[in-house]
Every structure is written in structure tokens, then in C-alpha cells.
Structure 1
Amino acid sequence: MNLNIEQKYWRKRIFILTWLSYAGFYFCRKNLAVTWSSMESDLGLDNSDYASIIFIYSLIYTIGQFVNGYLSDKFGPRKIVSTGLFLAAIANFFLGMSFSVGIVIFLISLNGYGQSTGWSGLIKNMTPWFRTNERGIVMSWWSTCYVTGSFLATIFATYAAFDMDFMSELGWKRGFYFPSIILVAIAFIYLLFTRNNPQDINLPTILESKYELGNNRKQDNLKLLKILIKNKALWIYSSCYLILKLTRYAFLFWLPIYLEKSLNYNVSDSGYISSVYELIGFFGVILAGYSSDKLFDSKRFSTISLMMLGLATVCLIHSSLISFGSAGVIISIALIGIATYGPDSLISTAGAMDVGGKKGAGMAAGIINGTGSIGQMFSGYIVVAINETYGWDNLFNFFVIMALVGGGLAALNWNYKSPDTYTSFG
């Protein structure tokens, strides 16, 4: 069925608004990594405190993923995501006033719950507007939101905290105040201008296959959940995502610190150089989407397996690349970004949408992202334990092993293609 002009307009509108919203979340997520060294000095903290803060944040974020995936399916993403955007912004503003580790942990917990509404809710928001056979490419472009958002957030937080002349007496605290203002503005835009699905604005439904529409009877969310958890593909996606989020959040939170403390860059240069991880990671997202749809006929696991094996290779040669100086450091960070963000985006967008279908996309995204967040939760402790015992170089060897495991798991389902039948019960 061809789409009418209004349907095409709203698809673009929803794409832009949801993209902007998730990119916005990163302005109140990445700033902690950039400002930590200065916070550490001012508040008398250390890397163990940082690992504990990351753990608490990730624990709340993980629980929230499971809860908010369900709530987004039940109440609609517009309400749930809007609440999360405002909560994350408020928590970040008060983080700039923090004077003890206890207050930091409390506020980072509020931020974690607010952040947890974003992914599953926005995946749910996107699902009714795009068909299965176009999701790989569409969602590869859409999922540049968190790569681009993370890049822009890193640059902005570094500038606001260390290089901006305005209110210079506040120092690193500006890295929380100004990003929170940006997120409040985005929250209002999302709340006012987005809609949950075409039916909310009296448009014809876009998903018309018998599998994606299901039937008109009221669906039982618990029955849908039971169907989802029996799906082998869901758990392979989730296992791979646990490995990828462990890796990605290790880089997200620790890369500026690694550059400063291991490779002896100053705090400002560390922030800017670390942004290469997201800047070039953008191209991994696009590569994964096109590879999945065009080369492998929407068989996601083929692309995931190959890119995770690529991640293992780059981490293996990292120590050789950095011997070439700053150019080698940037090349290594860029390649790791491509090999991380590509499969990460494919699993958490098109993969979740394929498994969950129209009615269960929020729940599937919540399960996948929630499971992945367990890896995120322990990433800080793993980084500290390996770094303090064996040094930074062996941390990259650990990532080699993890990536090989993930690539092998994905290869088990190499030819799998979701039939999107999981919403047809009734």
C-alpha cells in the first residue's frame, strides 16, 4: 500500500522528534564522564566511588528498562518518555550542586530512571510508523541519535565545563547546568508535537500485513510477554547486547579517564579526543543497517556476528596502533566505535522491533536493553578490577574475549529472519 501525503509527513515528524529526544538524553548522561576528574578532586572521591556511582545508575537504569518497556506498551510512549526527559533534566541540574557522594548517588539514580524511559519508549513510538522490510535501513539512520547525541554531548559538556568563559567561577558544575537546560527544551518539544501512532491523529494504519496488525481484540500483555520470552532470538539478541553494552559503557564512562591517566592527555584534550568514538561510530550504525537489509535480506545476526568479530580484531591490535602516537590513538578509537555501535544499534532497534512486532516492540526493547544494561551495570567494577590488577592494556584483551563470545552467539542464528508473527495471537 502506498502512503498518502499526511502519512509521509507524520513519519518524518515522528522520526525527527524521537531522534531528537534520544539524542537529548545523552546531554544529561555523557557529562558525568567528562567532568568526573574534576568532581573527583573537588569532592574527595576516587575511581572506586566512580564505579559504585556507575553501578547504582546502571542498576536503576536496568530495572527501569524492564518496567518502562511494559509501561510504554500499556500507556503509550508519549507520556512515559516525556516524564523521563523532565526527570533526567531536573536530576542533572541538581547534580551541579552536589557536595557529597551520597547526594551524587541519589541524583544519579533519579537520572538513571528518567533515562530508562527513553529507548524502549521511543522504539515503541517508531514501530507503528515503519514496516518490517524497511526497518533495517530506517532504524540505522534513526539510531544515529545516540551516537550523534553522545558525540555532541561530549563536545558540549567539555566546552561548558572547561572552556566556556560564561560563569567561569562555577567550573565543572556548568557541565551539568547547561545540558539540563537543553534537555528541558527537548522535553517540551517531544511532549507537545509527537503522537503515539497514526490512529491518534485519525490516519490509516501503516502496518497492514496480517502479522503486524494482529486483530482488533484487546491484547493481554502478560500473554504477549509469555510468547516473547519463549523466543530464542530474543535471548541471543539480549546476550549479545549484554556484551556490547558492557563494552560500550566502559568506553562511554572511562575513555576520557583512560586518555588522561594512561596516555597523559590533559583533561580538555581527553574529552575532545574521546568524542571520536561516537563521531566515527556513526558510520558503523549506517553500515550495519544497510548491510542487514541489502546484503543479508534483513537477517540481522549475520551483520552482528561479523561486526563483533571486527571489534575483537581492533581491540587485539589496539596496543600496536597507539604506538603511532595521537594518529594511532584516534584511528583505534574510531574503529572500535564503528565495530561497537554497528551491532549495538542493529540489536536494539530493528532487532527489537522484529521480535516484538507492532504490539510488543516496547516490551522486547525493554527486555533486550534491560538485559544489556546488566553488562553496563558491572562495567565500572570490571574496568577498575582489571586496570588496577593487570593494567589498561589487558582491559582491551578482555574486550577481545567478550567480542568473540558475542560474535559466536550471533553466528548460531546466522540465517534467522524474524517472521514478525508474535503479535498475531488473540
Structure 2
Amino acid sequence: MSLTSQQKYWRKRIFILTWLAYAGFYFGRKNLSVTWSSMEVDLGLDNSDYASIIFVNSLIYTIGQFLNGYLSDKFGPRKIVSIGLFLAATVNFFLGMSFSIGIIVFLIALNGYGQSTGWSGLIKNMTPWYRSNERGIVMSWWSTCYVTGGFLATVFATYVAFDMDFMSELTWRRGFIFPSIVLIAIAFIYLLFTRNSPKSIDLPVIIEAKYNLSDDGKPNNIKLLKILIKNKALWIYSSCYMILKMTRYAFLFWLPIYLEKGLSYNVNEAGYISSVYELIGFFGVILAGYASDKLFNSKRFSTVSLMMIGLAVVCLIHPYMVSFGKIGVILSIALIGIATYGPDSLICTAGSMDVGGKKGAGMAAGIINGMGSIGQMFSGFIVVAINEAYGWDNLFNFFVVMAFTGGVLASLKWNFKSPEKHQ
């Protein structure tokens, strides 16, 4: 069935607004890794403090993922995501005013909760507008929100914290204050202009619900949860995503520090070169989406499996690329970005939508991203432990083993495909 002009208009509008919202979240997330080296010196902190801060942030983020997936399905994503955006903006402003580790940890925890409303809520927001046979491509372009958002946030935080002349006496604190201003503007835009579904503005529905759970058409969340937790595809996605998110957040939080301390780059070089991970990771997102829809007929697991094995290969060769200087490092970081972001985006967007369907997309995304956040939660301690005991090169060997394991797991559901029907 063809779409009406109003449906087409609103699909584009929701795409843009949800893309902007999640890209915005990164302005309140990436600034910590960029400013940490300066915070260490100013506040007398060390890498163990950093690992603990990441753990607290990730713990609250993980809990929030499970909770906010349910809340987005129950109360609608517009309300839940807006609360998260405003909370993250407020917390980041006050992080720029903080002088003690205790206050920083408390604010980072609040930021973790605000950030946790974003993914499951925005996946829920997108699901009613796009059919399963177009999600691979559509969501690959949509997933550039967290690649592009992360890149822009890294560059912006580096500039305002270290290169901008305005309010120079605040130094690294500007890396929190100015991103909070960007985030509050995005919060207002999202709240005012987005809507939850075609039904909420009296448009015809675009997809049928995957699960018919009640006579009045409203989902029974307990029944839905029971159905989801029995789905093997959900748990394989969750396991793969735990590995990917552990790896991705190790790079997001530690790559500038590795470049500065491990390879002796200055703070500006480390900040800008680390942004290549996300900048080129953009192409991995697009590649994964087109491959899953065009080459594998919307079978996501096949693409995930191949790209995770590719990630194992590029992590294996990274220590050898360092000998070629900055060009070799940049090329290696770019390849790791492609091989990380491709399967990462596919699992947590089209994969979550396929497993959860229209009514359960928020909950499925919350479970998958929540399980992934467990990997994120421990990534800081893993980085510190392996680096201090065996050095940076062996950290990459650890990623080789993890990525290969994920590739094998994904291959177990090679032919899985969403059973949803389209209008």
C-alpha cells in the first residue's frame, strides 16, 4: 500500500527530529573523555578515578535502559526522551561548575540516567513510521546520528575546552558548559515538534503490530515482556551487543588517552585524531544497512557476523600499523570504526525493531541496549587492568577474541528475519 503525502512528510520530520535528538545526547557524553586529562591535573585524579566514574555512569545508564524501554512503550517516547534531554543538559552545565570528585560522580550518575532515555525511546519513536523491509537502509542512515553526533561532539568539546579564546579562564570547564547549551536547544526542538506515531496525529497506520496482545489494541506489557524474553534472537543480539558496546566505549572513552599517553601525542592531536573513529565509522553504518537489506534480504545477523569477524582482523593488525606513524594510526582507527559501528548500529536499530515489532520496539531496544551497557559498564576496568598488566597492544588482542566470539554467535541466527506485516 502506497503512503499518503502526509505520511511521507511526517516520516521525514520524525526522522530528522529523532536523529537530531540522539546526536544531541552526545554533546553531553563525549566531553568527559576529551577533558579528562586536564581534569586529572586540575583536580588531582588518575585513571582509576576515571574507570570508577565510567562504571557509575554505565551502571545507572544500564539500569535506565531497561526501565526507559518499558516507560517509552507505556507513556510514549516524546515525553520520556524530552525529560532525558533536559536532565542531561542541566547536569552538564553543573559539571562545568564542579570542583570535587564526589559531586562529579553524582552528576555523572544523573547524566547516565538522562542519557539512558535516548536510544530505546527514539527507536520506539521511529518504529511505527517505517516498515521492516526498509529498516536496514533507513536505520543505517538514521544511525549516523550517534556516529556524526559523537564526531561533532568530540570536535566541539575539544575546540571550546582548549582552542577557544572566549572565557579562557574556565579551561576544561567550557567543555561541559557550552555543550549543555547546545543540548538544551535540541531538547526544546524535539519536545515541540515531534509526535509518537501516525495514530497520534490521526494518520493511517503504516505497519501492523507484530504481537496482538489485547482486544482493544493496546499492548499488555507483561505479556509482551514474556514473549520477548523467550525469543532466542533477542539474547543473541544482546550478547553480540554487549561485546560491541564494551569495545566501542573502550574506544570512545579511552582512545584520546591512549593516543596521548601510549603514543605520546599532545592533547589537541589526541582529541582530533580520536574523532576519526566516529567520522569514518559513519561509512560502516551505511555499509551494514545496505548489506543487510540488499545483499541478505533484511537478514541482519549475517551482516553482523561478517563485520564482527572483520573487527577481529583489524584489531589484530592495529599494533603493527602504529609503526607507520600517524598515517598508519589514523587508517587503523578508521577501519576499526567501520567494523565497530556497522554491526553496532544494525543490532540496536533495525535488529531491535525486527525483534520487538511496533508495540515492543522500545522494550526490545531497552533490553538489547541495557545488556550492551553491561559491557560498557566494565569496559573501563578492563582497559585499566589489561593496560597496566600487559600494555596497550595486548588490549587490542583482547578485542580480537571478543569480536571473533561475537561473530560466531551471530552466525547461529544467520537466516533470522522479521515476520511483521506491512500496510
Q: TM-score range by the shorter chain?
A: over 0.9
Alignment of 1:107-186 (within 5 A): 107-186=107-186
1:22 aligns with 2:22: yes
Give the AA of the match of 2:288: A
1:274 aligns with 2:274: yes
What is aligned with 1:358?
A: 358
SS in 2 for 1:325: helix
Q: C-alpha distance in 2, partners of 1:163/1:356?
A: 45
Contact 1:73 1:362 in 2 (8 A): yes
Give the AA of the match of 1:165: D
SS in 2 for 1:133: helix
Q: C-alpha distance in 1, partners of 2:180/2:287?
A: 32
1:50 aligns with 2:50: yes
What is aligned with 1:229?
A: 229
Give the AA of the match of 1:317: I
Contact 1:315 1:396 in 2 (8 A): yes
Contact 1:35 1:161 in 2 (8 A): yes
What is aligned with 2:204?
A: 204
Q: C-alpha distance in 1, partners of 2:290/2:385?
A: 38
Shift of 1:252: 0.3
For these two proteins, the number of residue pairs brought into alignment is: 421
Shift of 1:206: 1.2
Alignment of 1:85-100 (within 5 A): 85-100=85-100
Structure 1 residue ranges without an equivalent (≥5): 422-426
Shift of 1:212: 7.0
1:36 aligns with 2:36: yes
Q: C-alpha distance in 1, partners of 2:326/2:376?
A: 28
For residues 93-145 of structure 1, what are the alpha-carbon distances to aligned partners after superposition, in whole Å with 9 as ceiling and x for unaligned? 00011111111100000100000000000000000000111111000000000
1:305 aligns with 2:300: no
Give the AA of the match of 1:313: V
Q: C-alpha distance in 1, partners of 2:323/2:404?
A: 24
Q: C-alpha distance in 2, partners of 1:30/1:218?
A: 38
Shift of 1:213: 7.5
Alignment of 1:296-375 (within 5 A): 296-375=296-375
What is aligned with 1:288?
A: 288
Q: C-alpha distance in 2, partners of 1:91/1:105?
A: 11
Q: C-alpha distance in 1, partners of 2:304/2:369?
A: 16
Contact 1:17 1:194 in 2 (8 A): yes
Contact 1:280 1:338 in 2 (8 A): yes
Give the AA of the match of 1:246: M
Contact 1:292 1:302 in 2 (8 A): yes
Give the AA of the match of 1:62: T
CA RMSD, 1 decimal: 1.2
Q: C-alpha distance in 2, partners of 1:128/1:217?
A: 14
Contact 2:211 2:224 in 1 (8 A): no
Alignment of 1:192-271 (within 5 A): 192-208=192-208, 211=210, 216-271=216-271
Q: C-alpha distance in 2, partners of 1:172/1:50?
A: 16
SS in 1 for 2:217: coil
Give the AA of the match of 2:2: N
Identity of aligned residues (%): 81
Shift of 1:202: 1.2
Shift of 1:329: 0.3
Q: C-alpha distance in 1, partners of 2:211/2:346?
A: 20
TM score, norm. by length of structure 1: 0.97
Structure 2 residue ranges without an equivalent (≥5): none
What is aligned with 2:397?
A: 397
TM score, norm. by length of structure 2: 0.98
Contact 2:160 2:175 in 1 (8 A): yes
What is aligned with 2:9?
A: 9
1:84 aligns with 2:84: yes
Give the AA of the match of 1:190: Y
Give the AA of the match of 1:13: R
For residues 372-395 of structure 1, what are the alpha-carbon distances to aligned partners after superposition, in whole Å with 9 as ceiling and x for unaligned? 000000000000000000000000
* 59-68 or 196-205, which deviates more: 196-205
Give the AA of the match of 2:89: A
Contact 1:356 1:420 in 2 (8 A): no
Could you list the structure 1 runs, at least 4 aligned residues long, displaced by more than 2 angstroms after superposition: 210-219
Contact 2:314 2:335 in 1 (8 A): yes
* 71-80 or 214-223, which deviates more: 214-223
Q: C-alpha distance in 1, partners of 2:292/2:204?
A: 29
What is aligned with 1:424?
A: none
Give the AA of the match of 1:319: P
* 119-128 or 218-227, which deviates more: 218-227
1:189 aligns with 2:189: yes
Q: C-alpha distance in 1, partners of 2:165/2:27?
A: 20
Q: C-alpha distance in 2, partners of 1:219/1:396?
A: 44
For residues 174-207 of structure 1, what are the alpha-carbon distances to aligned partners after superposition, in whole Å with 9 as ceiling and x for unaligned? 0000000000000000000000001111111111
SS in 2 for 1:419: coil
For residues 191-237 of structure 1, what are the alpha-carbon distances to aligned partners after superposition, in whole Å with 9 as ceiling and x for unaligned? 000000011111111114x7478764332100000000000000000
SS in 2 for 1:219: coil
Give the AA of the match of 1:4: T
